Structure 1
Amino acid sequence: MPDFRLPTRAGAAIEDAMLFDLPSPEILYDALLARDERYDGRVFVCVTTTGIFCRLSCPARKPKFENCRFHDSAAACIERGFRPCLRCRPLTSMIGEDPVLARLLTALEAEPERRWTEADVAALGLDPSTVRRSFRRNFGITFLEMARHARIRAGMQALKTEGRVIDAQVSAGFDSPSAFREAVARLLGCAPAALRGEARLRIDWIGTPLGPMVAVTDEHALHLLEFVERKALASELKALVAASPGGLQVGRFTMTDRVEAELERFFAGRDARFTVPISQPGSAFAQAVWAALREIPAGETRSYGAIADALGRPSAVRAVARANGANRIAVVVPCHRVIGADGSLTGYGGGLWRKQRLIELERGYLEIAATRRAALEPSVTPP
């Protein structure tokens, strides 16, 4: 079976982890109960009830099996919104004798609320580019990304559990309410106060190997799923809220859990199908384009012209491109499977590097399908 784990820009430490086939959750949970040190640096457990991640050898009280999620890198845990355990220190266990990494991790632990910049790193007498490479090599993300994930998500979590903007601001480590409002507004296109109370729509984070995504759901369907770096995210959310009386709040319905589980299976190479109901208003033509995208098998691609031909509108290539770009449910409605007529990658809201990685990942599904077909074909014995 092909290895579905995605290529990474990180170096040896992360590559070793990515080449390591994770045992079943049951086996890993037994290792967690036994505090098995053989998995240190290669497997981490995320505890959903506490929001922390640990080494399997952590001496802390063990969580219930149903509250555990196992991942093969610290970056995967951080991108899913978990913070490192202060008891077993899973990050420091990975750095070996590197004094630069140790120094910065210690500084981050001492001031998790600090708004770190490259100037701060330089003020410590460290070269920002060297630090950036070292963190990517060891953890799969940069130091500034690690700090940013922690701060913003702490604020979102506080909004979810405590409700008051001031509490969320303090939890996220912002110096003033205005700074916190600006950070959330830049990311989500609305003020933190607009994300509280009882609302029909709920917004939450979903971590993936390609970076965190924002999901908006109601009790019945998925309305938006985008990578957080998408430039159009703020305007998409603004339009979504304007068209959906009842407002938006931080939190999740079971639909968020459902799409998160399906994304996890997709990125793990277990299943490319998405069954979560979606709600994405648009013109009849846009709806036809989005339906056509979902009919493209995983591992295959289509050009804009091919989709226009399939819809009986061969001259509507540009309209197909506009509808493709207007899709606000990434991956589930696979606009990444559309390429140029010459086979080149074209624009993608989540970034062309993500588009390339998604296409590469899905080629593995083709290999599995071919293997299954070959296994079902009757063998022919020559006379």
Structure 2
Amino acid sequence: MIQAERYSEFYEALLQKNTEYEGVFYVGVRTTGIFCRPTCPARKPKFENCEFFATAQEALLASYRPCQRCQPLSHPNHVPPTVRLLVEAVERQPEKRWKTQDFRELAIDESTARRQFKKRFGMTFVAYARARRMGIALKNIRAGRTVVDTQLSAGYESDSGFRDAFSRIMGAAPSRLNDTRVLKASWLDTPLGPMMAIADEDVLYLLEFVDRRGLEREVERMRQRLKCAIVPGSSAPIESVEQELKLYFVGRLTSFETPLGLLGSPFQRSVWAQLTAIPPGETRSYMAIAAALGRPTAYRAVAQANGANQLAIIIPCHRVINANGELGGYGGGLPRKTWLLEHEKKCRMEIAET
């Protein structure tokens, strides 16, 4: 059940099509009898004609029918058919260099593909296909194939063109690959929006909501710090956290076991350890965490360490609030922070009742 004092907040999010509110609320339109997700592209109703619900089930029970445009009963981040078709096509021929004719053969508009991939992955389809192709090139070079053979198999006739493209995407020239680490990046769907996961074969380094401000800079700093190349793909830690997130969002998991790679100072790591010690459904203030560390005046430094966390939900910075009880900030947006806290409180109560 949604509190009435949040109606104005939700209506503003509806007008702005704010992705941070995906999964946080649904809106029923009294004049049409339909209900939508916050990012619905349809013309917006007047405030007095809106009714807000915490779940799609509540909207259905209130006699609203699902919108045909935003499809609120599908996954919040349902992959458009165009995106799915092209991803499958890339996987069938990952070394292919795409041309206009290739889109025509699939009956896909090239500009539509560019726009939908940009929205979904933060890159155009051509950039996605190029990164996938370069990922295979990297694998071949590390397996011992010559740069020339790899260049040709990746579809580049020009040596300089191949090296420029390789360095631009991977962050390292082909000749330096023996000294370069390789990390995999995947997009994971959650009820609160897509998340990006980055890991090597052993540990997870990053888990963030894709629309987090400054995410690109965050990834670039990580790449430079680890002196690594980042390519589309998956690994054991990514597969592990994907499964754990599914269990978390349905209330069947309270702690994560995926191995983590913590990129922080000793003080930051001590703060993150305190965060993971906060039980689900409970909160702590910055001052309380500083006191627990034996540094009661370091609450500002605690807040900075909290903001530097690169593993959203797993290291639960959403459980930290201001000393006056206000929520404070959250990199994924306050609507998500509110949802996560309410979700954990609800799950804790259900466990206590069983």
Normalising by structure 2, we get a TM-score of: 0.60
1:158 aligns with 2:159: no
Is residue 207 of structure 2 the alignment partner of residue 225 of structure 1? yes
Please point out which of 112, 115, 118 is paired with 1:114: 112
In structure 2, the partner of 1:304 is 286
| Identical residues among aligned pairs (%) | 36
CA contact (8 A) 2:202 2:259 kept: yes
Q: Which residue of 2 aligns with 1:9?
A: 26
Q: Are the counterparts in 2 of residues 265 and 271 from structure 1 also a CA contact under 8 Å?
A: yes
Tell me how far apart the structure 2 counterparts of residues 286 and 222 of structure 1 sit (CA, whole Å): 17
Tell me how far 1:232 sits from its aligned partner. Answer: 2.5
Matches within 5 A, 1:23-172: 73-78=74-79, 83=84, 111=109, 113-114=111-112, 148-149=119-120, 152=123, 154-155=125-126, 157-159=128-130, 161-163=132-134
Displacement after TM superposition at 1:230 (Å):
1.6
For residues 293 and 361 of structure 1, do their structure 2 counterparts lie closer, same or farther at Cα, with a shift above 3 Å needed? same
Q: Which amino acid aligns with 1:247?
A: A
Deviation at 1:159, TM superposition (A): 3.9
Distance 1:253 1:333 in 2: 20
1:18 aligns with 2:70: no
Q: 1:325 to 1:146 in 2, by over 3 A?
A: same
From 279, 284, 292, the equivalent of 2:274 is 292
Q: How far did 1:152 drift?
A: 3.8
State the shift of 1:156 in Å.
6.2
Return the alpha-carbon distance in structure 1 between the equivalents of residues 168 and 315 of structure 2. Answer: 28
What's 1:60 paired with?
none
Q: Which amino acid aligns with 1:114?
A: T
Aligned partners of 2:81 and 2:338: how far apart in 1?
Answer: 22
1:244 to 226, 242, 247: 226
Alpha-carbon separation, structure 1, partners of 2:83 and 2:301: 41
Shift of 1:343: 0.9
For structure 1, the 5+ residue unaligned runs are: 21-40, 43-54, 56-70, 86-108, 117-143, 166-189, 373-383
**Cα distance 1:360–1:16, how it changes in 2: closer, same or farther (>3 A)?**
closer
CA distance in 2, matches of 1:146, 1:250: 14
Alignment correspondent of 1:256: 238
Correspondence for 2:343 among 361, 373, 381: 361
The TM-score with structure 1 as length reference comes to: 0.56
Q: Distance in 1 between the 2:170 and 2:195 partners? A: 21
* Aligned-residue RMSD, C-alpha: 3.8
Pair 1:284–1:81, CA change in 2 (3 A): farther
* 1:173-212 deviation per Cα after TM superposition (whole angstroms, max 9, x unaligned): xxxxxxxxxxxxxxxxx95454998752111111111111
Structure 2 regions of 5+ residues with no counterpart?
Answer: 1-21, 29-34, 38-52, 59-65, 87-106, 137-166
1:343 alignment partner, SS class: coil
1:115–1:253: structure 2 CA closer, same or farther, 3 Å change rule? closer
Counterpart Cα distance in 1 of 2:111 and 2:225: 36
